Amino acid sequence: MSHVFGSLALAALAVLSVSASTPAAPPPGGAPSSNVTIVSEAANRFAFNLYGQLKGEAGNLFFSPQSIQTALAMAYCGARGETGRQMVSVMGFQEDRPIRPEWMAAACGEFLAALRGDGKPRAYELSAANALWGQKGYDFLPYYLALLDRSFGAGLKEVDFARDTEGARKTINAWVEKETRDRIKDLIPPGLLQPLTRLVLVNAIYFKGTWAIPFKKDATADGDFFVAAGQKVQAPLMNQTGHFGYYDGGQWKALEMPYKGNELAMVILLPAQVDGLPQMEKDLAAGKVLGDLAANLKTREVRVTVPRFKTTASILLGKTLAAMGMPLAFDPSQADFSGMNGGKEPLWIGEVVHKAFVDVNEEGTEAAAATAVVMLGAAMRMDEPPVFRADHPFIFLIRDKKSGCILFMGRLANPKP
């Protein structure tokens, strides 16, 4: 695999098949910047809440909260009643801020447009794409299809789940591979789709960039990475001294490494103690962490050591999302997605599958992630530069610096594959 560039790729899918009163007025602040901020803040709350649910799994962890939220948002636009209220709450939107599907679609559309940029040349590549794959001949509500097409750019593409389930699966997987530059293959595994599948909602986001300050390959050397107190592995450690965003919060340090263009950056949250990650995860809260970063992250000279690593993750999110507060969406007898088909037959979420990959190297970052939502019917001053030596487990984020939105989030427990 080439390491000449860094790239991030993501695809999120919502698969709906046979079987959700609309919330009140949209929140205040109709300006695009206000809507983008609301969506970004919600995505960050969702990111940390989801991380809190997944942290109990052993080993490395990596996922894209923003893409999962976008896929859920497209499904939410067809949800009604309590099903919709639960979904919007889990997605990170404030419960005291009633949201109509029309506002959700418009706000998410503005956010995606902001991520894509205005078409001007950028020092990195960042793209987002959405599509709907519907059962051929199925009677979806024209209003729902138009809403997603207008706001998400997700036009309806017909396939035949009923008579050619495998062909539909291959068609969708091929689209995902194309939109993620072949980084995500076989997103939908055999058996996930059924003849009763009615709709697949697809979101894909892709980023390709290099570090603003690359690491020199000849400065990389094998060294100790402490996976736990008294337990270590050998890993390639990248080294450099340069000016980076830095914050020492006592119990943890933060390092911000921007990509070229200075619009996206990786943030590493490093516990002060080798075995400090569990306590840090316990205390982790989106508002506190991001607030501390905004107030205290200062650019200064830092001696940096960061492992070169690759990690992959495959996660079933259905039970997790239900436990986070949206059980109705997974209940065949109570889920209400009538905004998609007028209530002609019940629709509900059967499973949510997420796969992700990240490669951090001297030139930049390469990452990919995919989500399938299956719905079934029926700075401080020092004399010497501070040392940021990430030689033990840490949390890392890749975020859009302008909006503050977390695009990817993960944990490195062990850099050895």
Nearest to 10 by CA among 144, 161, 127: 127
Quote the pLDDT of residue 56: 87
State what percent of residues in the chain have pLDDT above 70: 87
Mean pLDDT across the stretch 13-40? 50
Mean pLDDT across the stretch 280-303? 86
Distance CA 401, CA 395 (A): 18
Residue 374's pLDDT band (cuts 50, 70, 90): low
98-101: list long-range contacts, CB under 8 Å, 24+ apart. Answer: 98/23, 98/24, 98/25, 98/26, 98/27, 99/23, 99/26, 99/27, 100/22, 100/23, 100/24, 100/25, 100/26, 101/22, 101/23, 101/76, 101/77, 101/147, 101/339
Angle at 254 between CA 252 and CA 259, to 5 degrees: 160
3-state DSSP assignment of residue 292: helix
Residue 209's pLDDT band (cuts 50, 70, 90): confident
Distance CA 98, CA 102 (A): 12
pLDDT tens by residue, 322-363: 999 999 999 989 999 999 999 888 888 877 777 777 888 899
Domains of the chain with bracketed CATH: 6-209+311-376 (3.30.497.10), 217-309+380-412 (2.30.39.10)
State what percent of residues in the chain have pLDDT above 90: 44
pLDDT tens by residue, 159-206: 999 899 999 999 998 998 888 888 888 888 888 888 888 888 887 777
Is residue 266's pLDDT more than 90? Answer: yes
Cα-based distances in Å from 328 to 12, 339, 367:
21, 15, 33
pLDDT tens by residue, 105-164: 999 999 988 888 867 788 887 778 888 888 898 889 999 999 999 999 998 999 999 899
Distance CA 224, CA 353 (A): 34
* Mean confidence (pLDDT) of the chain: 83
Give the type of residue at 105.
A
Is residue 30's pLDDT more than 80? Answer: no
Quote the pLDDT of residue 21: 29
Is residue 10's pLDDT more than 50? Answer: no
Is residue 304's pLDDT more than 50? Answer: yes
Quote the pLDDT of residue 33: 55
Quote the pLDDT of residue 256: 95
Q: Is the dihedral of CA 305, 205, 63, 85 positive or negative?
A: positive
Quote the pLDDT of residue 45: 92
Is residue 270's pLDDT more than 80? Answer: yes
pTM metric for this prediction: 0.85
**Which of 53-57, 289-293, 299-303 has the least mean pLDDT?**
289-293
Pair 14, 74: CB distance under 8 Å = yes
